[in-house]
Chain A
């Protein structure tokens, strides 16, 4: 019992030493993580409750969590990488929601033109050749 306690304490001490040695995550990496944090927040605001990009936003949040954890653990490279992935996922979420709303607007526009054409054809029965002319 006692010897096991001693061994655990020793392990703990060793870990602490190791952690201290590695905990020097550079300010640059911390900045990078902070930037990703901002991007994820902005993506959240842009998306609101929209479904488009929701999966990517969640992935961005998960990566951000991993980046934060990596800072705590003093893991420089994982912190950088997860920050970068969080950044990319946040950008992807935003661009997905933007392209979805642009597509929706375009489709609505096309539908309204189609409707206009149909109305125009209906209101001019004296011009039957129009129906075959158009497309």
Chain B
């Protein structure tokens, strides 16, 4: 009795399975196709894969129609697979187009970056030069034919001596900073005196004063190749030696910064 009942149940179940097997609730291939086809259709780059997307849509429509009519599972699976494959191919073509766009944009951007770097380099070179001129202007540098001339007056030295007074340190610091900022920049340090005393004495004093400024710059880290010195004694006055004020003006050290950076500035060269 019991045995027969279970047999009946099994038969009923088998019948049901057989009936349902032609169109089960879900067919994986169809679900996949229904998900992927609209995705590629919606892509803004769908234009690169028109044929595949059209084929995918047609196959999906066929698969849907078959499912609607409870067609054979194998037929639905086939059409759905064709739809999915075409959609996948379309997707890869879209990805390729995106990558190529990125490469094109990248090529342009690379060029921009390189150009910007070159312009920035040129700008910073100009800025360095301008900064130097501003700095020298602050130090009351005068533009002359020989270049920008910064004068360190007699008051910055002990009388008759080559030693720099502490009052000269600020100026020296700034000059050192200017030279270190632009290692290509060369400076000629010229010592000058008034006409009091012998020529030999004045020559020697002017040389020692120039050397003293040079040493102070070396101490602050300026490269030796940037500096040269010359003692000019009393040969190049800037004022009359007939009065005290004029003589004081003549006792000086001049730093000549060549604007054309290729050579050391000096009218004696």
How many angstroms from the CA of A96 to the CA of B96 in the assembled complex? 9
For the complex, would chain B's binding face be called helix, strand, loop or mixed by DSSP majority? helix
**How many positions in chain B have a CB within 8 Å of any CB in the partner chain?**
28
Interface with B: A7-15, A28-36, A100-108, which one?
A100-108
Interface with A: B87-95, B164-172, B186-194, B217-225, which one?
B87-95
For the complex, would chain A's binding face be called helix, strand, loop or mixed by DSSP majority? helix
B120 CB contact (under 8 Å) in A85, A95, A127: A127
Min CB–CB distance A62 → chain B (angstroms): 13
A110 CB contact (under 8 Å) in B86, B88, B89, B102: B102
- A95 with B110, Cβ < 8 A, contacts A105-B99, A124-B120 known: no
How many angstroms from the CA of A130 to the CA of B109 in the assembled complex? 16
Question: Are B120 and A92 in contact (CB-based, < 8 A)?
Answer: no
Min CB–CB distance B131 → chain A (angstroms): 9
CB-defined contacts of A126 to chain B, threshold 8 Å: 124, 127-128
Interface with A: B77-85, B247-255, B259-267, which one?
B77-85
A2 interfacial contact with B, CB 8 Å: no
- In this complex, the member of B86, B92, B95 whose beta carbon has the largest number of chain A beta carbons within 10 angstroms is B92
CB-defined contacts of B127 to chain A, threshold 8 Å: 126
CB-defined contacts of B110 to chain A, threshold 8 Å: 109, 112-113, 116
Please provide the chain B residues from 138 to 160 with a CB less than 8 Å away from any CB of chain A in the complex. Answer: none
Using a CB–CB cutoff of 8 Å, the interface residues on chain A facing chain B are 81, 84-85, 88-89, 91-92, 95-96, 98-99, 102-103, 105-106, 109-110, 112-113, 116-117, 119-120, 123-124, 126-127, 130
Using a CB–CB cutoff of 8 Å, the interface residues on chain B facing chain A are 78, 81-82, 85-86, 88-89, 92-93, 95-96, 99-100, 102-103, 106-107, 109-110, 113-114, 116-117, 120-121, 124, 127-128
